[in-house]
Amino acid sequence: MNRWLAPLAVSASLVFTAAPAVAEDDPLDVVATVGMIADVARNVGGACVSVTAIMGPGVDPHLYQASAGDVRSFQTADLILYSGYSLEGQLGAVLGRFSEMKPTVALAPSSIDPGQLITVQDIYGIDPHLWMDASLWARIAPTIAAEIGKLRPDCAEAAAARAEAYGEQLAALDAWAGQAIATIPEGQRILVTAHDAFNYYGRAYGIEVAGIQGISTESEAGVADIREMAALVAERQVPAVFIESTINPRTIQAVIDAARERGHTVTIGGELYSDAMGAEGTAGGTYIGMIYENTRAIVAALGGTPPALPAALADWAETWDVAAAGTGE
């Protein structure tokens, strides 16, 4: 038996066991695969939902293996939300089985115009890291609101209103990120990371991106990959490269060492959130905070100056004690 299917065999009976009926005044039990979905669902659903994320901070969805506990969570959920386009990797087979039993929504294919997708020449076909463009990720909010409304008609109007308000916040975040990246000197506007998770970010905000590994982290970078990236870093005089919270930093360190052998000193500009958000209860543990903290780290390390946050994000900034960054119109 495949090792990733082994945990499922323990709870195979759970997959086909009917979930208990839920009282109309109880919050919907919503299970999301990744935090970037869970946070949007909480913002949209409000008191109408109780949201659980299967994969927490520091977890790489490309490599994730389903557990018996995950199967139980899916079995008792009223609504399952996942990204799609193979982001969840091996978990996709489990999600497919549950889609025959209960509302199970692939948000990216359901919400985002195929013309906005980035195609890649690997097993994925489509780059699944769509949350890196806040304007694209905002489009899952109305989809989530509609799904909540189907299951709880009394929550439909409020969920739709929250989705609209949240969309306005993400529009402000999107504009701010573009303005922030534009402050980086043009010759230094290159983002070097461990793997190719930032293509949507680069396209949206005007920065060249280069990952040592490809879209997925299933295979490790080789010596040739390290040398090629070190040559690029040295040739372009890149001032800083970035590690990621879900990936071992050894490949980035190898690039730094190889660049030094070529006579160029490059530093680590910070740790970025790529395939997972930060710790729960922190600013980086929210979707807005993920984009905000990534952008501030990138801009500061590459020689730019982040502008003040827009007024639309003042409440978020105050909640997470980042108001010192400033707010403006």
pLDDT at 7: 39
pLDDT at 220: 64
Per residue in 31-76, pLDDT tens?
A: 999 999 999 999 999 999 999 999 999 888 888 888 899 999 999 9
Label residue 91 by pLDDT band (50, 70, 90): confident
Q: Are 63 and 12 in contact (CB under 8 A)?
A: no
Label residue 221 by pLDDT band (50, 70, 90): low
Q: What are the residue ranges of helices labelled H in the chain?
A: 6-10, 12-15, 35-45, 68-76, 92-98, 107-111, 134-137, 140-151, 156-181, 199-205, 223-236, 250-261, 287-301, 314-319
pTM of the entire predicted model = 0.90
Per residue in 157-210, pLDDT tens?
A: 999 999 999 999 999 999 999 999 999 999 999 999 988 899 999 999 999 999
Q: Are 296 and 269 in contact (CB under 8 A)?
A: no
The per-residue pLDDT of the chain, averaged, comes to: 89
Share of the chain above pLDDT 90, in %: 74
Cβ-based neighbour number of residue 119 at 10 Å: 10
Domains, the chain, ordered by start: 6-175 (3.40.50.1980), 179-328 (3.40.50.1980)
Cβ-based neighbour number of residue 26 at 10 Å: 12
* Cα-Cα-Cα-Cα dihedral sign, residues 36, 42, 43, 44: positive
Q: Which of 258, 58, 34 is nearest to 140 (CA)?
A: 34
Distance of CA 285 to the CA centre of its chain: 11
